[in-house]
Structure 1
Amino acid sequence: MTSEQTYPSVFKVGLVQMSPKPLDPAYNFSVAVAHIQDAASQGASLVVLPEYHLTSWVPDDPKFASLASKAWDYTLKYQEIAKDLNINIVPGTIVTTDPNSTSNSKAPQQEIPKPDADDFAILEGGSASAPLLFNVAPFISQTGELLGLYTKANLWLPEREYLTAHPPVSPPASTTTTTTTTTTTGTRPAAREPHNSSSSSRHSVIQTPLGPVGILTCWDLAFPEAFRALIRQGARMIIIPSFWLNTDIPLEARKYSEDTESTFLRATLVSRAFENTCAVVFCNAGGPAEEGYIGLSQVAMPLLGVVPGSFAGPEAGMRIVEVDMNAVDIAETAYGVRADLANPDWHYGDG
């Protein structure tokens, strides 16, 4: 795709707020496919699934890591579905040991090189022999092409014992896929930053049929720097698969308010859309409130706030939301955020 590419100004997005069955990827895949088919039948150009949609988040179970060894096969299945239904898909995240394991010659190979001793430090209590699990969000085009992927950079505190944070870098000039660079890892937070770890190297824009897109994942939402890194590269839409529950914080924090995490999401999603003049497509897991689910999958836009049709609660299901990207352009005319970010003399540097 070139900079002269024209993109649709108005399109529909399917938000799949599903409740993943723990450690049952075959069942969860079948649920996801049914929702994708429904979204396509309603004219959606894009469908987004939640983080951990294939397995839920049960990292203490040995099967969680075992399933990761073959999880990338589902990406190939989603590629076939995208092509068959003529729909762009962000299949949430897929926890995988190595996306390069695919033998599908039609899919671009996504390099996730293994870290070496010079690139990270294991703190006390860590283990250099622990399996490396990557939390990867692919973008699959309506033609079935894997256009790029994002590996979660900002791990939520409990994730750091199990997952490898792996900052992506900009793709080589000869390819349109996203590659990655060195990483920080371990069973505790890394002691220092990896080499070449500026915010722009952690986050790369993917050129898609819907325009320049950035992908972030769940807790990345808490970091404005991640958004700014993508906006400075031209992203107009940020897609955020998530597995964000009300029970993610300690009980002592919840004593202040039972709605703390819902308040966090409602405030932050709309703020990120306004302060970056971009569309924010957030897709969270859904399910019974008594099990901690808060849902709130939504499209947030500058000028508009939460777009009608978005989820207002935790219920599982699929909803279609119409996205008017003209609002992004009009908001930029009003606020000039992107123009300021593009200024070489911008007060805050490269971020």
Structure 2
Amino acid sequence: MKVGIIQLEINDDESPKQRLQRVDALLENMKVCDLILLPEIWMTGYFSFDHYVCEAQSIDGEFVTHYSNMAKKLNAYLYAGSFVELKGEEYFNTSVFFDRNGALTGVYRKIHLFRYGSLEGKLLTRGKKTTVVDTEFGKIGLATCYDLRFPELFRKELELGAQIFLITSAWPLSRIDHWKIFNQARALENQCYLISCNCVGTTRKVQLGGHSSIVNPLGIVEKYAQANEDILYFDIDTSKVAQIREEFPQIKHIVPID
């Protein structure tokens, strides 16, 4: 599986429409990929809390429709990152996953909302369900940014058959050491590949950390970006998940804890 990660720069001078057009231009050059990732609330900008309500969309709105068509055009699985979703009278941090035909096969509403120097927890409603999607490459679990600090979410996805974790994020540079640890730990403890896509740039006086990564089921970082806008490409052999789990069968040794 050839993976492409768009580590996108977010700044306050660019409008959502301009950013979307720029992302589309980047995607046009990624037709060789089987799976493509984008970061968290990238079109609005995660820290633009004052724009959450006015830029929110429904799950059948323009953002989802547009990237459904893009996935079909690219003939690739697309984890299009997240957007602010309006559902009834509630707002969610919702990430979306499309198959090669543009079908929306995965919807994940962020469960762990960030509150430290963030209005996300005040403005949005938390999701309640884990999301694992079936693909030709195996089962993929979806997660968003702050979720990385909560291992029980990833263990639940493992129980549902996940072999790969995808992380969409807007993680600040000030806590990038934590990001690196969690990327490796969540992969290692579940013997899964973990593929993360973070933002870079400075927005609303917050410097974003980058360091998007591909971590193998042994917890080893296979490839990572720095703190600048970049596109990562990497080939993953998903058969290694079963191989590693058989050679070092820690998953089989999980026992319920009272």
Using the size of structure 2 for normalisation, the TM-score is 0.90
- Could you list the per-position Cα deviations for residues 4-33 of structure 1 after superposition, in whole angstroms to 9, with x for gaps in the alignment? xxxxxxx11111110234482211211221
The amino acid that maps onto 1:138 is: V
1:64 match:
52
With over 3 angstroms needed to count, the CA separation of the structure-2 counterparts of 1:161 and 1:304, relative to structure 1, is closer
Query: In structure 2, which of residues 58, 67, 75 is the aligned counterpart of residue 78 of structure 1?
Result: 67
Runs (4+) of structure 1 exceeding 4 A deviation are 288-291
Alignment identity in percent? Answer: 26
1:237 match:
164
With over 3 angstroms needed to count, the CA separation of the structure-2 counterparts of 1:70 and 1:138, relative to structure 1, is closer
Shift of 1:323: 1.4
2:241 match:
328
2:25 match:
34
The amino acid that maps onto 1:64 is: Y
1:134 match:
92
Could you tell me how far apart the structure 2 residues matched to 1:241 and 1:38 are? 21
Partner secondary structure for residue 93 of structure 1: strand
Select the structure that is richer in strand. Answer: 2
Query: In structure 2, which of residues 77, 88, 92 is the aligned counterpart of residue 88 of structure 1?
Result: 77
Counting matched residue pairs gives 252
The question of 1:297 aligning with 2:212 is answered yes
- Uncovered stretches (5+) of structure 1, i.e. residues with no partner: 1-10, 99-113, 115-130, 169-202, 248-260
Could you tell me how far apart the structure 1 residues matched to 2:172 and 2:133 are? 28
1:49 match:
38
Shift of 1:132: 2.0
Using the size of structure 1 for normalisation, the TM-score is 0.67
Shift of 1:59: 4.5
Could you tell me how far apart the structure 1 residues matched to 2:111 and 2:149 are? 12
Partner secondary structure for residue 74 of structure 1: helix
Partner secondary structure for residue 200 of structure 2: coil
1:267 match:
181
Partner secondary structure for residue 92 of structure 1: strand
Q: Work out whether residues 21 and 28 of structure 1, in 8 Å CA contact, stay in contact via their aligned partners in 2.
A: no
Q: Work out whether residues 288 and 315 of structure 1, in 8 Å CA contact, stay in contact via their aligned partners in 2.
A: no
Could you tell me how far apart the structure 1 residues matched to 2:2 and 2:56 are? 31
- Could you list the per-position Cα deviations for residues 201-240 of structure 1 after superposition, in whole angstroms to 9, with x for gaps in the alignment? xx13211233211101000000110010000110001101
1:214 match:
141
Q: Work out whether residues 137 and 238 of structure 2, in 8 Å CA contact, stay in contact via their aligned partners in 1.
A: no
Could you tell me how far apart the structure 2 residues matched to 1:143 and 1:16 are? 21
The amino acid that maps onto 2:218 is: L
Shift of 1:246: 2.7
Q: Which moved more, 1:206-215 or 1:19-28?
A: 19-28
Q: Greater relative contact order (Cα 8 A, min sep 6): structure 1 or 2?
A: 2
